[in-house]
Chains A and B, each alone.
Chain A
Amino acid sequence: MIRFENVVKQFGTNRVLDGLDLEIPEGKITVIIGKSGEGKSVTIKHIMGLLTPTSGRVFVDDRDLSTFSFEQLMDLRRSIGMLFQHAALFDSLSVFENVAFPLKERRSMKESDIKKRVFEVLDQIGLPDIADKFPGELSTGEKKRVGLARALSPNPRIIMYDEPTTGMDPLVSEMIDNLIVDVGRWNPELTSIVISHDLKAALETAENVVMLYKGKVQLAGAPDKFRKVDDPIIRQFFAGKVEGPMEFM
């Protein structure tokens, strides 16, 4: 389980997280929603220790991240897979080398085992034949899927997706949403965290939804709770309207 306790994160005078209390259950798909610039990416970067709180604490498996040694933090990062918004594949490496990257850099795995594992995940994401291509030769949807393969190759316990469908056409979006659900099914112990600003799509994939607003959790719970709630801010977000009580920066 991942837990945020009264986390404040401030960049200069810009207070992005303002006493955030948050729980992310194990083995489920949690979707974090909130409008652009609300601090969603900042939130998940805290889970890997890529950012540290200005005050407050972040726990992973009941262990306070601020007490981690460098090696413990690296171990934690090795157990987390992350799919970046634009896939963030290494342009100078082939698809194979990209997917093999976390395996090669991490542990002493045999060359033949690495190869086997890479083709296994490429197969899972439905792109078995592109190992020798380079990121520049792939479509956006393919890049995303390779990014997912790279995140999955070392068998993470936690996988995080930063806006996996933002800017994708509807077909690719749906394919990626389906893959996220599939990945969760292949490994029931896997904790998935998806960042999204599309509440409707989020409710389809999520088992647990968290909405961030003004640096705090506005509402958290099962998708049904979101469908029924009267909160005007959530209704406005649902409708995707500018008029309403929600404040824009």
Chain B
Amino acid sequence: MIVLICGFFIGAAVSLQVGTIFVIFGAEGMLGAANGKALSRELSPLITGFLLAGRAGAAITAEIASMKVNEQIDAMEAMAVDPIDYLVVPRLIAGVVMLPMLVGIFNLVGQIASVIVGVMIFDIDQGAFFQKMTTIVTPEDIWSGLQKAVIFGGIISLFSCKFGLEASGGAKGVGVATTTSVVTILLILLFVDFGITYIQIAL
């Protein structure tokens, strides 16, 4: 739900910004294409990643940290069950699968917002809008965003679990672990995003 709302308003805002600049050059027909590229390559994976880190990631850290400080992780190991297999692996898989799906939704909604802004505010002809958009936004753009999403999803799950498993010191420790985890993951995502973009463009 939050992904829908975010996708819509960020798509709309980007389209508005880009649209007002493009009007100067009389290139407002390119609006959909520009929005599509910006969203699918960059904004969509990053913002969706942030959302996932803030919600699901924080929840994972809090849950695992509270298991850790209540000796539930010890109990699991004492019963010869590996917490990595039992807790981390399923969350890693979920993260790697979920984030690309959310990014897909974000792209779609953001693009719908762009159509609405383009047609209603900048009076662009619908046919021209779609024609430009489909020729300029390539499957590669979408694909490069989804690659990021897979990697971000993995990072979010792994680090959320890691901070949870390393928590210590009662209920306070759970809070500390959760905050540290979210902040650290956001920074890692920014770094890694830049790194991947650099590599993708260099190739």
Q: Which residues of A contact B (CB under 8 A)?
A: 45, 48, 50, 74-75, 77-78, 80, 82, 84-86, 88-92, 101-102, 105-106
Nearest CB on B from A136, distance (A):
12
Query: Does residue B78 face the partner (Cβ distance < 8 Å to A)?
Result: yes
Nearest CB on A from B35, distance (A):
41
Knowing that A77-B78, A88-B70, A91-B72 are A-B contacts, what are 15 other residue pairs whose CB atoms are under 8 Å apart, sorted by A's residue number?
A48-B78, A50-B74, A74-B80, A75-B80, A78-B79, A84-B71, A84-B75, A88-B71, A88-B75, A89-B72, A90-B67, A90-B72, A90-B75, A105-B81, A105-B86
Write out the residue numbers on chain A whose beta carbons fall within 8 Å of the beta carbon of B78: 48, 50, 77, 80, 82
Q: Is the CB of B67 within 8 A of A85?
A: no
Per the 8 Å Cβ criterion, residues 65-109 of B in contact with A are 66-67, 70-72, 74-75, 77-81, 86
Q: Is the CB of A84 within 8 A of B81?
A: no
> What are 13 A-B contacts defined by CB distance under 8 Å?
A77-B78, A78-B79, A78-B80, A80-B78, A84-B71, A86-B71, A88-B72, A88-B75, A91-B67, A91-B72, A101-B79, A105-B79, A106-B79
Q: Is the CB of A102 within 8 A of B79?
A: yes
Write out the residue numbers on chain A whose beta carbons fall within 8 Å of the beta carbon of B86: 105
Q: Which residues of B contact A (CB under 8 A)?
A: 63, 66-67, 70-72, 74-75, 77-81, 86
Give the 6 A-B CB pairs with smallest separation, nearest first.
A88-B75, A88-B71, A77-B80, A74-B80, A102-B79, A84-B71
Q: Is the CB of B74 within 8 A of A77?
A: no
Q: Is the CB of B80 within 8 A of A85?
A: no
Q: Is the CB of A88 within 8 A of B80?
A: no
Q: Is the CB of B79 within 8 A of A85?
A: no
Write out the residue numbers on chain A whose beta carbons fall within 8 Å of the beta carbon of B81: 101, 105
Q: Is the CB of A86 within 8 A of B70?
A: yes
Residue of A nearest to B75 (CB): A88
Q: Is the CB of B75 within 8 A of A82?
A: yes
Q: Is the CB of B80 within 8 A of A84?
A: no
Nearest CB on B from A159, distance (A):
11
Nearest CB on A from B7, distance (A):
31
Write out the residue numbers on chain A whose beta carbons fall within 8 Å of the beta carbon of B80: 74-75, 77-78, 105-106
Write out the residue numbers on chain B whose beta carbons fall within 8 Å of the beta carbon of A86: 70-71
Complex: A75 Cα to B74 Cα, angstroms: 16
Write out the residue numbers on chain B whose beta carbons fall within 8 Å of the beta carbon of A89: 72
Write out the residue numbers on chain B whose beta carbons fall within 8 Å of the beta carbon of A85: 71
Query: With A86-B70, A88-B70, A90-B67 as given contacts, are A77 and B75 in contact (CB-CB < 8 Å)?
Result: no
Residue of A nearest to B66 (CB): A91
Write out the residue numbers on chain B whose beta carbons fall within 8 Å of the beta carbon of A48: 78
Q: Is the CB of B74 within 8 A of A88?
A: yes
Q: Is the CB of B72 within 8 A of A77?
A: no
Complex: A92 Cα to B70 Cα, angstroms: 13
Nearest CB on B from A91, distance (A):
8
Nearest CB on A from B153, distance (A):
22
Complex: A102 Cα to B70 Cα, angstroms: 18
Residue of B nearest to A84 (CB): B71
Most buried by A among B66, B71, B75, B79: B79
Complex: A92 Cα to B75 Cα, angstroms: 14
Nearest CB on B from A18, distance (A):
24
Residue of B nearest to A71 (CB): B80
Write out the residue numbers on chain B whose beta carbons fall within 8 Å of the beta carbon of A92: 63
Nearest CB on B from A195, distance (A):
13
